[in-house]
Structure formats: C-alpha cells, structure tokens
Amino acid sequence: MRIINKLHKRGLALFMALVMCLSLVQVTALAEDEVVANDVIISEDNPQEENTHEHSYAGTVQAPTCTETGKAVYTCECGDTYDEEGEPATGHTPEVLEAVAPTETETGLTEGSRCAVCDEILTAQEIIPATGVVIPAEVQAFLDAVYALYDVPTEQLLQAVEYAETLYDLLTGEQKALEEVYQCKTALDSFRQTMTLEETVEDTVKDEKSLKEAVAKGGTVKLCSDIALNATLVITGTVALDLNGYTLSLADGKAGSVIKVDGQNIEFTLDDSSIDGTGKITGGKGGSGVPYYGNSGGGICVLNGNLVINGGTITGNTAITYGGGVFFSCSGNFVMNGGKISNNSAVGGGGSLYNLEHLP
C-alpha cells in the first residue's frame, strides 16, 4: 500500500512535468509569429494586446442622374467603405429646340431637342440652306434682256436696247433699287451710249405709198407696220428691205407676186431685224408678167438682178407655174444666209424655190 502511494505520487509529478514541457515547446515554435485568438494579439513586442476598434460609418447619398442609378456611400474613419444602390436613373427630360426658318442669305435649322437637366442633345438640329433671292418674273425678264445684249448681232442691237429699256420702265421703284437691277441698268446705259451701228440711209415706212416711194429711192427700207399691197412691189434699184417683225403681203383678191426684182446689176436684200424673227412675206399668187415664164414666183419673182436673203420667212404663197415661194432667173446670183422658205406651193414645180436653169 505504501509502495502504491509512492508510485502514485511519482506518476503525478511526472505527468505535470510532461505537460509543462509540451507547453514550452508550443510557445517556442510560435514565438516568431503573431497569434490572434479571440481578438488577442501575441507578439514579442506586444505579448498581449486586445483589438478593441469598432467601425463607425458616416453615409453620403448620391442622387440618381439622367443615365446613372443613385447610391449611398458609407465610410469609416479608418478608411473602410461600402455603398448601397439607391434610386434608379431618372431618364432625360426633353426640351424642344425651336426650328429657325432660312432667309434669302442666312441658313436655318430644323427642330431639335435636348435634355433640360443635363443639356445632352437628344435630337440634333440640321442646317437648312438659305433660300436665295427670289426674283420676280418682270425683274428677271429685264435682267435677261440686258445679258442678251452681249450676244445680239450689231444690226439688231438698237432694237434689243430699246426692248430692254421698255422692260426697265415697267419695274417698280423698289425693284429698280435692287443691286443687280442697278448694275444692269448701268450696263444698258453704256450700250446706249457706246454702241456703233452702221450709219445708213434708212426710211421707216408704214403703208404701201411710203413703201413704194422709199424703194424707188433705194437704200435701206424698214417696215414699222404690217402692209397689204394692192399691187406687186417692183424693185428696180439696189434695196435692203427690213421686215422688222412685220408682214408684207398681197391684199385679198389681188393677183401677182408680192415682190418682183427686175433691174440690171442691182441687188435686193431681204432681212428681219426683229428679235423674235416674226417678219414674213405671204399671200402672193405668182405672176411675173412674162409670157414665157407664166405665173411664177408667188412670194418673190427675180427676173434680173441679185437676191440675198438674210432673214424673214417666205410662206403661204402660190404660183400657177413655178416657184411658189421664190422664182429666180439665171441672170443673177441668189444667196441665202438666213431666213426660211416654207409652206408655199406651185402647180408647175418648185413649191418653195425654183431656178430658171431647171425649166424644161
């Protein structure tokens, strides 16, 4: 019994010694590292210091924008932070950008829109071109008439200038004050002052009597009215006849050519200085008066002399034999630089033109 008690005491002492050894080994192994357990920090410098910090957060609310969701941001004085999602984005608030109408010189804009909150452009405005100057028809007619002067033949320039001046007189004071109108008027005045037309002896006639008197003198003869002849106009000298946009015809019920050319070494020139070229010879019923030729040359019958046609229309004439429009003998020259011969008729041949060399 005594031996058992002695062993019991020794065993207890050995057990306690073993526990103490194991405790020393564990502490030694972990001495170089910090050990955290139950908020207790153990280290060499601070063997035992308890972490007692508690976070205290202050919140900042960020309101939602047109395109971004709002949120609340919470921050602790230690720097720790977190956020929570707030209200959804509000979306844009459209505001109309008014359209701007274009003017003659300034561009305009289409209607657009933008956000009234953030100013973001929602619908971009597009540029509308300037309308340009709207020119009234009467003003445009005057401008065109002046610009056309630069291309008008010399023999027609005077009439073209007078036509442009007439159009200018029809304009209002406000229209005359327009810059382009003013410039064209200045140019028109210059044409009036500086144009050099060939000086010729020119008779202006308006009836059969004055026409025949002027033709008898020779030179340039200019119609200023339609004339219906009671008898054929006979040319025996060098004459230039300007129809000037008017009609020379044979009166109803009368027979014969409208014009007969019969003279040695003479020249008859037919022209039409009108801008529209409306002058014409019509209504002739071919009759040269020469038995062999019969009733030829309804419009113009040339027995002797030269014929030059620069303008005018020979139309609506007839002949029983040859050359409803023009009958031309072989004793002179025929030159056609302009004008027109059309819609004439002849029973024998050459509805528009017949040359004697082709007679059988």
Secondary structure string (H, E, C) spanning 88-139: CCCCCCEEEECCECCCCCCCEECCEEEECCCCCEEECCCEECCCCCCCCHHH
Q: Calculate the average pLDDT of the chain.
A: 81
* The model's pTM: 0.46
Handedness of CA 228, 314, 219, 158 (dihedral sign): positive
Under-70 pLDDT residues of the chain = 1-51, 195-202, 287-294, 356-360
Question: Residue 357's pLDDT is what?
Answer: 61
Q: What is the DSSP letter of 251?
A: P
Per-residue pLDDT tens for 286-324?
Answer: 864 554 455 788 889 888 888 999 999 999 999 888 888
Q: CA–CA separation, 43 vs 100, rounded Å?
A: 80
The pLDDT, as a whole number, for residue 309 is: 95
Bridge partners (DSSP) of residue 41 are 36, 49
pLDDT score, position 132: 75
Amino acid identity, position 138: E
